[in-house]
Amino acid sequence: MKKFEACIFDLDGVIVDTATYHYKAWKRLANEMGFDLTEKQNEQLKGVSRMKSLDILLQIGNVTLSDKEKAKQAERKNQWYRAYIKEMKPEDIFAGTLQLMDELKREKIKIAIGSASKNAQTIIDQIKIESYLEAIVDGKKISRAKPDPEIFLMAAKELKVSPENCIVFEDAWSGIQAANNAGMTSIGVSDKKNLSEANYVIKGLHEINLSILKNIFYKK
């Protein structure tokens, strides 16, 4: 029988707005290669790995690079991004996040981060939320990008809970697919039209609480 035991949060776009910094860094790289990256085009880069994002970017700009050059450009982007996120502070956490995590902790609901970012730990350190977390699964631990369910299945394993007993919060289509593929309850944190396959959609964590989560979980 299903039992609500854990919440797994994507980081970028769910807890903090690091998407702005990713876009700023990718756009800078595109500009240096002689083309532009629009905000609409940037949507394709959300929720996927750095190298996959670079491949999409190069496709947009119709640019071909060797594997060696790809690695070099991806590292340049990451250095810019890391410089941007090191300016982050606890005040950058989205409204409602800490209130929800406090409520989950009181009810002994386990909390994990499931982020494709290889910089997840840096962000967590900057915004000071590690005390809430019982597991952190990031891009350094996984070999398959979302929508593959590996990241969320690994988080469930580290939390020692069954996948079916987890709720996932995601802001990207690929993340919702990964959660669904893992057999978990998926909550989209974004515009409903972009995340129609989620079990439930909210605009932000300020719209949710433990009572609502239980209703979503047990009605699925």
Query: By the 8 A CB rule, do 185 and 217 touch?
Result: yes
Query: How big, in percent rounded to 5, are the helix, strand and coil portions of the chain?
Result: 50, 10, 35
Query: By the 8 A CB rule, do 182 and 152 touch?
Result: yes
Give CA–CA dist 165/31, Å, rounded: 45
Give CA–CA dist 133/156, Å, rounded: 13
Residues in the chain: 220
- Tell me the C-alpha to C-alpha distance, in Å, between residue 83 and each of 19, 25, 52, 58, 145: 14, 10, 21, 23, 24
CA dihedral angle for residue 169, residue 194, residue 154, residue 97, rounded to 10 degrees:
-20
Annotated active-site residue 17? The verdict is: no
Annotated active-site residue 12? The verdict is: yes
Active site residues: 10, 12
